[in-house]
Chain A
């Protein structure tokens, strides 16, 4: 269980997080989305006690992180997979962390096995590929078998195999009843992995919703073209659909599925030249939600 309450964090004059509140429950993957610079990493750093909040608080299982004894048994985190000493072996890297929380060397070997790095456990981490570093970072998060897991951009730079591996791992961790918070700036990734979404921009909450609700909210209906548009509109309205003329010509139909439209048209022997479902993709929904809060945008390009 993660609770962020009225959290604000300023660095000098710039506000990174501004009155942010949300909570993340167990048993599902919660996506933490926002454009670069939205405050995702800052929020995670405050949650992990690395940065002190300017005001508000961030709690894990009802506790401030700094008050947790042997925190790795409760919270696992991957912040920056590149944060490794290149000369240290994967095993020693994990052993350093494990020792501080009274975790044994056997558990280190176990998590290395789990993330598929057992074969390179004694190799210097400096020679690892980005994907292997991500796996090592995830192994570190799993060391204490924690109930709460935070992953900051875990799929960055991974190949498709690695992305799928992470996706399945996240889902299985959540299925075991753990709280999983997964940050990303890519909606396409969340669409496949997350159940809930917390979207932020410029340090503020934009929406806290489920993936399904968000998709429904941005449903724009079906564009239908027919040479007998007026008759078709009448039939569709009779079936409970809302029909409006579309600016591009044709009919914008909402409230019924495209298959229903097709069936109705067939039943009334009305020809259809086009029927295009126009539900905005989650990616577009996300772009629209965060349009006002993108920190760095190339001038002259329309997003």
Chain B
């Protein structure tokens, strides 16, 4: 490796390819649509909180204690995962659909830096946007609920913060899975279906399995994992089967397996 101005050639390639991928992402409209989708989801959660609050206010005193609303941070997970899953898919498949993948690979013939840079940009964007949307939801829904004890707003801040990070991590994992699926299938439609199956269809299927399989399978699917990572269970699981580090490791596999397959496909196949 030659050294130019103290920066090695390899490091320069990495920063260059990263910069290129960032330009690619920010220079097309779909990026703003995805961010708009995340913002809309957060607004929707605020609306849900407002609706719950008005519902609470309309109830006679005796029935108010029975109103418990699930954590809206966990609810926003689904639309965010879909939004950024599709984003991850598009970052890769749009290059195949337009044919620009060939100029990208001609510019970087080692190929893997292209995939790595795409993954880094997808991870950074989805983690940041996921965290922002989840945090906005957390504070806005609490502010809207005010003093009304409605379940979700009774959780202390110290328990709420891990949930925010778990939600953002799941969004990033799905986005990376989308990117990996995109690189393996080279098809936008196919990869988006894959993301929806992962995020939405499989958890529903798991709920309908006989016990104990329903719990066991749910524990390694996305909604269950988010709860187990943060330690705040909701919905599909009654108790944690995995410790937070174990759950985080399984979540990481959601990103690592498709990306690994993508790296292999990119290396071996003609572009």
Contact = CB atoms under 8 A, between A and B. Distances in A.
Contacts of B110: 66
B102 interface: yes
A50 B102 CA distance: 7
Nearest to A78: B103
Nearest to B95: A85
Given A49-B109, A101-B107, A102-B16, A88 B28 contact: yes
On chain A, which size bracket covers the interface?
Answer: 35 or more
B23 A96 contact: yes
Contacts of B102: 50, 79-80, 83
Q: Choose among A52, A69, A98 the residue with the greatest number of B CB atoms under 10 Å from its CB.
A: A69
Q: Choose among B106, B110, B271 the residue with the greatest number of A CB atoms under 10 Å from its CB.
A: B106
Interface of B: 9, 12-13, 16-17, 19-21, 23-24, 27-30, 94-95, 98-100, 102-110, 270-271
Looking at chain B's contact residues, the main secondary structure is helix
Given A48-B109, A87-B29, 19 more contacts: A50-B106, A67-B109, A68-B109, A69-B13, A71-B109, A72-B107, A79-B106, A80-B99, A83-B99, A84-B99, A85-B24, A85-B94, A86-B98, A87-B30, A95-B23, A100-B13, A100-B20, A100-B104, A102-B16
B27 A69 contact: no
Contact of B109 (A66, A80, A88): A66
Interface of A: 45, 48-52, 65-72, 77, 79-80, 82-89, 92, 95-102, 140
B29 A70 contact: no
Nearest to B106: A48
Nearest to A103: B16
Contacts of A66: 109-110
18 contacts: A49-B109, A50-B106, A51-B270, A52-B270, A65-B109, A66-B110, A79-B102, A79-B103, A79-B106, A83-B100, A88-B24, A92-B23, A95-B20, A96-B24, A96-B104, A99-B19, A99-B23, A100-B17
